[in-house]
Structure 1
């Protein structure tokens, strides 16, 4: 029986289209080749961020930044700050300010994942981070991934996620359409995930049956005998991750004086002059190459890898955090009190 006569809802529609421009054709060929070489998927876990839906965008949502945290409460705190500063700096209308501050008050007292302020819906959204793997190796950057050649370690990372429109029915190429079809039934099944996490993951297949792929990001990982460990955060280009690796090697955290109850620094932070010189030489050789993706230092193998993120979509848009998504702490007051006229009361 057809539950959706006529046009299918947007969250169930994958619109595949053929693009005949040369760039799209090369990108499609590159994607198909990569998926054949790296056919399996390793799921790392959830990431959280913020999205907004304005009246003219309905039903689409727009991401407000990177999905850069592993905890929902950190995203709620980001929303708290966003709305507080918006109330302070972006309006002189008392009614608008009251609306914004009412949402802030909710976020200060309850772990809410959606608020509405000044006619805009704001939501804490969830995505799963994963990498492709083949022959026991994580997928490196693709030749067609956006990239640059700068080694300026202080260069900003220009986000490709901020402003991304979450539109399940938007036209995509053949390779992305096939990828999304293959991810529709992806859920957490490994025993390393707790029982409630696996149950929530299965439930999401029904409550949020659609899948949208966000722009790929890039990380540096350290290859170990049976696993990988993350060395850097996520970057919008492979070169951004390469610069982060050089920064990791040549600009380590400074040594701190011995103080009571101070935890011992991890080994990679303990850098004497000999070790610092070794790292400088390794970094110099690394930067002398064009777009390198591997560096071996003292038997430790660092790799630049391509990371993908999938967001599940339901009838009302992107998935919120799940009950089994854990937090280290709860909501609290982050900023001073403000009244509808913008007067701020600082604590004594």
Structure 2
């Protein structure tokens, strides 16, 4: 443990001891326990989203669109739509609309990762998604992880993502264990023969150019055990219950259609889903020899002197920029292309 690490951990520890907040103590104890039971990190891969910096407010970057996209271009398209709808619905000023639509035009033809519009900088930001793992596999939700106040299995409306508005400030205090995790992740780089050489080089460069770490709000997803490994089987959800409902829906409606289940398979999955639902807060279900688990997923974003890390040259895109919305005139008229 170097001196910087020790000083930071000691400060975090003093802050925890001095806080008269039993809920914080329980959460930290939960995190300490998880660090022993699930001591390793399984990197799931990069994720992307949109952040903005408005110097009229302060110099901080805030998440605008959740950092959950699988490719940079998905986030560029999301920014394209964000600006187009602002031009359509949020201004009557032709000058403002003209500037918004000029940025949209750039995003339609170029894979740019940053645009400045009306004094606000918008950037495609890159994060890494990972889960903790141990002898029993991937970490499930913790008892202290937040649940919806009135969980429903029938209402398909998910809990809103906690990402929008989240401040990407490496200096924010997230708690004793989270602070220690941020310190540990400063030196995190990809290693191993499964990564191409350009990915390894970009990872090393990112650790040097964007050394600080921000931990995004924790999410939850579903994974299927495959031999000794685990395979993701769903989107990132904001609460454990949202992930449970996603798994129940997949077993009863989505997977039977996607995989063309036989009648026997459909009944088997339906029965397993019914038992899973009846258990209330179960985090895994076994269907034949397939084990599905609701897992706790963490995300980090690297930051440097100029803010959060953008996509790396080695990040893979499977599509090109394209025109998403109809042409709009300066007066707000939308043309039928």
Q: With the length of structure 1 as denominator, give the TM-score of the two structures.
A: 0.89
Tell me the residue number matched to 1:98: 98
Tell me the residue number matched to 1:53: 53
Q: Secondary structure at the match of 2:318?
A: coil
Q: Secondary structure at the match of 1:32?
A: helix
Counterpart Cα distance in 2 of 1:34 and 1:164: 25
Counterpart Cα distance in 2 of 1:100 and 1:136: 50
1:305 to 268, 282, 295: 295
Counterpart Cα distance in 1 of 2:177 and 2:255: 42
Q: Secondary structure at the match of 2:102?
A: helix
> Which range is displaced more, 118-127 or 154-163?
154-163
Q: How many residues align?
A: 324
1:246 to 245, 248, 262: 248
> Which range is displaced more, 13-22 or 275-284?
13-22
Q: Quote how far apart the aligned CAs of 1:29 are.
A: 0.6
Counterpart Cα distance in 1 of 2:280 and 2:88: 46
CA contact (8 A) 1:59 1:316 kept: no
Q: Secondary structure at the match of 1:192?
A: coil
Q: Quote how far apart the aligned CAs of 1:308 are.
A: 0.4
Gaps of 5+ in 2: 1-7
Q: Secondary structure at the match of 1:344?
A: coil
CA contact (8 A) 1:52 1:122 kept: yes
Q: Quote how far apart the aligned CAs of 1:254 are.
A: 7.1
CA contact (8 A) 1:27 1:144 kept: yes
Tell me the residue number matched to 1:236: 238
Q: Secondary structure at the match of 2:214?
A: strand
Counterpart Cα distance in 2 of 1:253 and 1:45: 24
CA contact (8 A) 1:65 1:159 kept: no
Matched, 1:86 2:76: no
CA contact (8 A) 2:256 2:266 kept: no
Q: Quote how far apart the aligned CAs of 1:226 are.
A: 2.4
Q: With the length of structure 2 as denominator, give the TM-score of the two structures.
A: 0.92
Counterpart Cα distance in 1 of 2:20 and 2:308: 31
Counterpart Cα distance in 2 of 1:188 and 1:206: 13
**1:1-348 matches, cutoff 5 A:** 16=12, 17-18=15-16, 19-135=19-135, 137-148=137-148, 149-252=151-254, 255=257, 269-347=259-337
CA contact (8 A) 1:336 1:344 kept: yes
Counterpart Cα distance in 1 of 2:22 and 2:255: 45
Q: Quote how far apart the aligned CAs of 1:41 are.
A: 0.7
Counterpart Cα distance in 2 of 1:134 and 1:294: 16
Counterpart Cα distance in 1 of 2:224 and 2:142: 19
Q: Deviations over 1:200-245 (max 9, x none)?
A: 0000111100001001111110011121111111101111111011
CA contact (8 A) 2:47 2:127 kept: yes
Q: Secondary structure at the match of 1:47?
A: strand
Gaps of 5+ in 1: 1-12, 256-264
CA contact (8 A) 1:153 1:243 kept: no
Q: Secondary structure at the match of 1:124?
A: strand
Q: Quote how far apart the aligned CAs of 1:20 are.
A: 2.6
Structure in which a larger fraction of residues adopt helix? 2
- Cα RMSD of the aligned pairs, angstroms, is 1.8
Counterpart Cα distance in 1 of 2:70 and 2:194: 17
